[in-house]
A and B are shown apart, each in its own frame.
Chain A
Amino acid sequence: MIDFLEQNQLFIVLTLVLLIWFGILIYLRTIENKIVKLEQALKKQKGNN
Chain B
Amino acid sequence: MKIIKYLSSLIITLVIISGIAPPIVEFPMHWYQYPIIPGLEDKFRNIFFHVPTAWVSTIAFLVSTYYSFKYLTSKNDLYDIKAESSASIGLLFSLLATVTGALWAKFNWGSFWNWDPRQVSIVFLLIIYFAYFLLRSSIKNEISKNNISAVYNIIAGISSIFFTFILPRMLTGLHPGAKGGKDLGPILGGSISGNIMVTFFVSLLGFTLFYLWLLNLRTRTGILMKELKYD
Contacts and interface: CB of A to CB of B under 8 A. Distances in A.
A21 B224 contact: no
The 6 closest A-B pairs by CB, nearest first: A14-B20, A35-B220, A38-B224, A17-B16, A14-B21, A25-B9
5 contacts: A11-B21, A13-B20, A14-B17, A28-B213, A35-B217
Contacts of A39: 220, 224
A15 to B, nearest CB: 10
Contacts, number: 33
B64 to A, nearest CB: 20
Interface residues of B, dominant DSSP: helix
A21 B207 CA distance: 13
Interface of A: 10-11, 13-14, 17-18, 21, 25, 28, 31-32, 35, 38-39, 42
Given A25-B9, A28-B213, A42-B224, 7 more contacts: A13-B20, A14-B21, A18-B13, A28-B217, A32-B217, A39-B220, A42-B227
